[in-house]
Amino acid sequence: MDLGISGKVAMVAAASKGIGLAVATALAKEGCRVSICSRDAAALEAARRKILAEAPGAEVRIFPCDVMSGEDLEAWHRSVAAEMGPVDILVTNTGGPPAANFLDLTEEQWRRGIDLTLMNVVRLCRLVLPRMRERRWGRIVHLTSLAAKQPIALLTISSTLRAGLSALTKTMSNEFARDGVLVNALLPGHVLTDRQIELNEIRSKQEGISIEDYASRVQGTIPIGRYGQPRGDRRGRGLPRERPRQLRDRRDNPGGWRPDPRNLLVSCACHPDVGRLSSQAERGICSRNLRAQIPRCFASSG
């Protein structure tokens, strides 16, 4: 599928593995010139090789960066602007903050969680928005979590901050849409990333059961009955578009997107029916109806 974004410059944060890597790979397949960051230089190089294996000839640059550091983010942005040009597409993404019950969390953990989960998004957006507005074209996609709409046990910090990030997404969308800059959020559910494995280990120990038994129980709560897998979709669903595509009746569109969209909740800041979509997902109706909406939530005006 040609999304009309070939040649666009894309920054994808925390993209050495998991969903970030899947998104960067999909953008590279669409012809975007991609820059990815991670704290681990070796993991970044391995990620670059994986992307090039899927998208031979793509331009993929890597930059070691701690997204909690404002100085690192500024350095990454300067490097991209100098070597690739103004940023057209920004995908924000991070690992999760500490997982614990409320009374077990320290103030320092809350502060680190804010820097990791929220402030990196604020800082990156402030870096790319001036040129996007100047050129009257930009796409910003926040990778967050289902916890933004449906708080999850132990994910006290994440649930709190990601709900705020949804509010920020809507606020930014309203403010910058008239400048040709569209802002959306993607809220993954149970996708089998390192973060999901870490949470399974914590919870299984707390309950005194094996990690396999705990994982089986979690999968029993997922409508499709299994975890999603972080891999790109060659059709590019869920990615930003150059031109608009008319929203059609969601009942007639059994489309798909990987990571498994049946485990995803979309918060489309530009879509007036977001409340209905959210309530469907919270009731567990995240099957064909919601899955079909994902590509259209990211269809954006030129």
What residue segments make up the domains of the chain, in order of their start?
Answer: 9-297
pLDDT of residue 242: 54
pLDDT of residue 113: 95
pLDDT of residue 193: 66
The overall average pLDDT reported for the chain is: 78
210 versus 271: the higher-pLDDT residue is: 210
The answer to whether 238 and 261 have CB atoms below 8 angstroms apart is: yes
Dihedral angle at the C-alpha atoms of 43, 121, 141, 254, nearest 10 degrees?
A: 80
230 versus 95: the higher-pLDDT residue is: 95
236 pLDDT more than 70: no
pLDDT tens-digit series, residues 44-97 = 999 999 999 999 999 999 999 999 999 999 999 999 999 999 999 999 998 888
pLDDT of residue 180: 97
3-state helix, strand, coil in the chain (%, to 5): 50, 15, 35
Rg (the chain; Cα; Å) = 18
What is this structure's pTM? 0.73
Element spanning 36, H or E: strand 33-38
Phi, psi angles (nearest 5°) of residue 100: -170, 165
254 pLDDT more than 60: no
177 pLDDT more than 90: yes
9-297 belongs to which homologous superfamily?
Answer: NAD(P)-binding Rossmann-like Domain (3.40.50.720)
CA separation (Å) from 120 to 71, 114, 125, 181? Answer: 11, 9, 9, 19
